[in-house]
Structure 1
Amino acid sequence: MKIFKNAILAVVAVLGMQTANAQAKTAHVDVNDITTKMPAMIEARKQLEKLTENYSKEYKTLVEEYQAKGKKYEAEAATVSDAVNQTRQQEMQDMGKRISDFQENAQTDIQKKEGDLMKPLVEKIKASIAKVGKAKGYQYVMDVSSLLLADGPDITVDVKKDLGF
């Protein structure tokens, strides 16, 4: 009898949890669609592309300069003293290190700039999703990219309007 009571209590508890879960209101949003079409996000990407392009040009110039010096030094190696060749070899190593350091610093700077530009925009999007979701009475709003089935209310358009586009 005691086992039967426990089994009934377990069934009631499971049914109660399912009922509570069924009553939770959920919606979905397409965050990728928002981030690819948000004007501020597009502008931030353009700034990052320009910065990356500038660093790429500088890097290319440094590498070309390094290669030109290397060819020149190689061509003249037989006609200059060992001391000059050693000095040139050290200069080439130093240039190689500067190029490597430049590349690392450029990557770090680009990542920092990306964080500085994107973090406030991502926070703004999250806040807008929360605002719209709460205003429409949803307890959960999920990103459509992580769902296997998105057959419910889509608040993407409402979030875009809230963000002003």
Structure 2
Amino acid sequence: MKRLKSLLLATVLCLGASFTMNAQAKVAHVDVNELISKMPAMLDAQKQLEKLSGTYDAEYKTMAEEYQNKIKKYDQEAATVGDAVNATRQTEVQDLVKRITDYRDNAQKELQKKEADMVKPLMDKIKASIAKVGKAKGYQYVLNLADLLLADGPDLTADIKKDLGF
């Protein structure tokens, strides 16, 4: 009976040790932020976004100048025109403020949408490259460096850059 217990204990220990060895996965990390920031296509996308943002800013400034000029003119003429004209002008200024606010909000939304539309295919390309390089090197998990508290393992960032062609 003692021999059976010893044999059973030895078997359990051996199985436990083999499960522990098999449970250790190969893990590496990659700096996705570095990849996306240095990717040539992303640099081009940023230039396009800056150009679009400049266009929106110029239009916004024009609208703001129009508002300032109307306010100045209406303030100067307020005492010489009737209450009906002043009320009409006040409504006109409120409409202009609403137009300016709506324009600014829509411009921000358009810029965010454009950025998301440009970044998504690039991120998909990066993810595909990470999967390809990770599998080729035998890693079961590849983690993003930004999400790690400790990154004391293989860094695949350079390999991913090479695979992406930059």
Using structure 2 for the length normalisation, give the TM-score: 0.86
Q: Which moved more, 1:91-100 or 1:47-56?
A: 47-56
Q: Which amino acid aligns with 1:139?
A: Q
Q: Which amino acid aligns with 1:94?
A: D
Q: Is the alpha carbon distance of 1:68 and 1:13 closer, same or farther for their aligned partners in structure 2, counting shifts above 3 Å?
A: farther
How far apart are the structure 1 equivalents of 2:16 and 2:134? 28
Q: Is the alpha carbon distance of 1:27 and 1:63 closer, same or farther for their aligned partners in structure 2, counting shifts above 3 Å?
A: same
**Cα RMSD between the aligned structures?**
2.2
Equivalent residue, structure 2, for 1:68? 69
Report the alpha carbon displacement of residue 35 of structure 1 after superposing the two structures with TM. Answer: 1.0
Q: Is the alpha carbon distance of 1:11 and 1:62 closer, same or farther for their aligned partners in structure 2, counting shifts above 3 Å?
A: farther
Report the alpha carbon displacement of residue 77 of structure 1 after superposing the two structures with TM. Answer: 0.2
Q: For structure 1, which runs of at least 5 residues remain unmatched after alignment? A: 1-7
Equivalent residue, structure 1, for 2:7? none
How far apart are the structure 2 equivalents of 1:79 and 1:13? 98
How far apart are the structure 2 equivalents of 1:72 and 1:123? 54
- SS of 2:143's partner is strand
How far apart are the structure 1 equivalents of 2:55 and 2:14? 66
Which residues in structure 2 correspond to 1:11-90 (within 5 Å)? 18-22=20-24, 24-90=25-91
Q: Which amino acid aligns with 1:155?
A: L
Q: Is the alpha carbon distance of 1:12 and 1:65 closer, same or farther for their aligned partners in structure 2, counting shifts above 3 Å?
A: farther
How far apart are the structure 1 equivalents of 2:136 and 2:35? 19
Q: Which amino acid aligns with 1:89?
A: Q
Report the alpha carbon displacement of residue 69 of structure 1 after superposing the two structures with TM. Answer: 0.4
Which residues in structure 2 correspond to 1:75-154 (within 5 Å)? 75-154=76-155
Report the alpha carbon displacement of residue 61 of structure 1 after superposing the two structures with TM. Answer: 1.3
State the aligned residue count.
Answer: 157
How far apart are the structure 2 equivalents of 1:105 and 1:14? 61
Q: Is the alpha carbon distance of 1:82 and 1:164 closer, same or farther for their aligned partners in structure 2, counting shifts above 3 Å?
A: same
- SS of 2:142's partner is strand
Q: For structure 2, which runs of at least 5 residues remain unmatched after alignment? A: 1-9
Who wins on radius of gyration, i.e. which is larger? Answer: 2
Q: Which amino acid aligns with 1:105?
A: N
How far apart are the structure 2 equivalents of 1:93 and 1:145? 46
Taking every aligned residue pair, what percent have the same amino acid on both sides?
62
How far apart are the structure 2 equivalents of 1:86 and 1:116? 45
